[in-house]
Amino acid sequence: MSGVASRSSMERRLLCSLFLAAALFGVASAATRRHDWDISYQFTSPDCVRKLAVTINGHTPGPTIRAVQGDTIVVRVKNSLLTENVAIHWHGIRQIGTPWADGTEGVTQCPILPGDTFAYTFVVDRPGTYMYHAHYGMQRSAGLNGMIVVEVAPGAAGDGEREPFRYDGEHTVLLNDWWHRSTYEQAAGLASVPMVWVGEPQSLLINGRGRFVNCSSSPAMAASCNVSHPDCAPAVFAVVPGKTYRFRIASVTSLSALNFEIEGHEMTVVEADGHYVKPFVVKNLNIYSGETYSVLITADQDPNRNYWLASNVVSRKPATPTGTAVLAYYGGRRNSPRARPPTPPPAGPAWNDTAYRVRQSLATVAHPAHAVPPPPTSDRTILLLNTQNKIGGQIKWALNNVSFTLPHTPYLVAMKRGLLGAFDQRPPPETYAGAAAFDVYAVQGNPNATTSDAPYRLRFGSVVDVVLQNANMLAANSSETHPWHLHGHDFWVLGHGAGRFDPAVHPAAYNLRDPIMKNTVAVHPFGWTALRFRADNPGVWAFHCHIEAHFFMGMGIVFEEGVERVGELPPEIMGCGKTRGGH
């Protein structure tokens, strides 16, 4: 629900700087768009099975935030969960000048306590397709998520800012995976000895709707599953024959890498994570958790029938049925808009065809008219080895043998207030032991690791390379895809490769001509991914695997840059850890 709300002291303080920021972005007439959200548990049936979900104003997914480049967004969040904290991350929004609004509990703010209200206020400075989701515990898995669409500002910066493609209409597509067990059960299982894995999702959802196929598997399941419930009616996307449509696609999955297809229609990829892509045509699109894409399709098929939208699991052996929605042709003489397509849903490519997925990653480069060349060299290289490890009998994920833990006092608050005892002051490792000869295909000989909450301190304005190195897990012949998301920045994707990264060889093949800029990128099984970014956004920023369970188990780090340049912190972000009682 949008509406005019009274401005809090924090809003008044922030809006002055935000309006100035909007002016710097070259936007002549930016608007302030206000939303009031009540976060609560509600019974829903997104895949026909009744379950408690975390909702926004009673719904999951939440409302799509629509804005124009340069607008200020104000979202007043009331936490009505009663027994659970909340924080919401605005995924892909860089939070320039407002690092405390990033919505990352333990990094940029204390969580919103039950019964409390917190106003997130920030500028959307770049057009594109983005998302929002919970960033507290594993609440993203429970339904607290939605999309953000930012339009190009009219006359923002002349013709150079116009989108390099045309279309007649658009649709938003939010992809998700869904479990019937609560996030409490999942988190307890991950922390147990022996570990109880979350398992494969029961359903795949498109715009919050799916269909669980085993409703009659037990009397209890049959009692809670209602295949005629309106919550699980398939999403319908209407098209008119001959028209071209932009599909804005976002994956907010908690575990699954997906392959998305629109039956019978080629898709032209034109945007990734808010940046224009050199157009290329695909039959289906591989999309990893935290990524967004825009594709164009033309409604040029037989208008007397409908077609499937389908999402299928890739990179993990599937145990979840295809997620489906309907592409409905309007104008066909013998077609009903809600008619079930006459064909089986597309099954997608082979789930373990890693080479196919790497080729699509390599094909995603910047549009020639919108390419931003990266700095030719970096000032610092951080090589991070992803491994599965054990600590005190618990299975954890680690980077360079260190499993990440969040401090009780948010980094941003601790650093601005000089609370040096709030986190580990020792610098974390920038490479890993035996990097020159490490066998990424073998089970490592020493699975033990340590924990730390030490941040990586970056010189403000410096250029940083990060190389993500994937390796074998604790079980033989096993390696997974990890989608890595960087808060507060976009980075250049310089390259992907198979096997062990060699710093003496592979940088020579980096794409420095037209690399795509993104905020989320996959590192493929037994491979490496190299990225480059400029540390020019004052604040403290999380960098982590976007698989919910993996971040929970330690697969992440934190960067600090220019904290001394951050303005006065709003007192509303404090109240936990060493700031308890210090509002």
Per residue in 385-415, pLDDT tens?
Answer: 999 999 999 999 999 999 999 999 999 999 9
Instruction: Over range 121-143, report the average pLDDT.
Output: 96
- On average, the pLDDT of the chain sits at 93
> Predicted confidence band at 427 (pLDDT cuts at 50, 70, 90)?
very high
Alpha helix ranges (H) inside 191-263: 219-224
Q: What stretch of H or E contains 357? A: helix 354-363
For the chain, which domains are there? 32-151 (2.60.40.420), 169-363 (2.60.40.420), 380-579 (2.60.40.420)
Instruction: Over range 417-443, report the average pLDDT.
Output: 94
Locate 83 and state its tokens: 């027994």
Query: What is the structure's pLDDT at 220?
Result: 82
Instruction: Over range 239-263, report the average pLDDT.
Output: 98
> Predicted confidence band at 218 (pLDDT cuts at 50, 70, 90)?
confident
Dihedral pair phi/psi, residue 301, rounded to 5°: -100, 180
> Predicted confidence band at 156 (pLDDT cuts at 50, 70, 90)?
low
Query: What is the structure's pLDDT at 29?
Result: 67
Q: What stretch of H or E contains 189? A: helix 183-190
Query: What is the structure's pLDDT at 16?
Result: 46
> Predicted confidence band at 578 (pLDDT cuts at 50, 70, 90)?
very high
Residue 241: closest CA among 327, 340, 325, 341:
327
> Predicted confidence band at 6 (pLDDT cuts at 50, 70, 90)?
very low
Query: What is the structure's pLDDT at 350?
Result: 97
Residue 129 has pLDDT above 90, yes or no: yes
Residue 25: closest CA among 118, 122, 100, 112:
122
Query: What is the structure's pLDDT at 75?
Result: 98
Q: What is the per-residue pLDDT across 36-70, written as a single tens digit (0 to 9) for each?
A: 999 999 999 999 999 999 999 999 999 999 999 99
Query: What is the structure's pLDDT at 564?
Result: 97
Q: What is the per-residue pLDDT across 289-344, written as a single tens digit (0 to 9) for each?
A: 999 999 999 999 999 999 999 999 999 999 999 999 999 999 766 778 778 999 99
Q: What percent of the chain has pLDDT over 70?
A: 93
Q: Which of 8-22, 73-87, 140-154, 194-208 has the lowest mean pLDDT?
A: 8-22
Instruction: Over range 478-504, report the average pLDDT.
Output: 97
Query: What is the structure's pLDDT at 336?
Result: 81
Radius of gyration of the chain, Cα coordinates, nearest whole angstrom: 23
Residue 27 has pLDDT above 50, yes or no: no
> Predicted confidence band at 17 (pLDDT cuts at 50, 70, 90)?
very low
Query: What is the structure's pLDDT at 30?
Result: 86
> Predicted confidence band at 447 (pLDDT cuts at 50, 70, 90)?
confident
Encode burial over 45-73: b for 16+ CB neighbours within 10 A, e otherwise: bbbbbbbebbbbeeebbbebbebbbbbbb
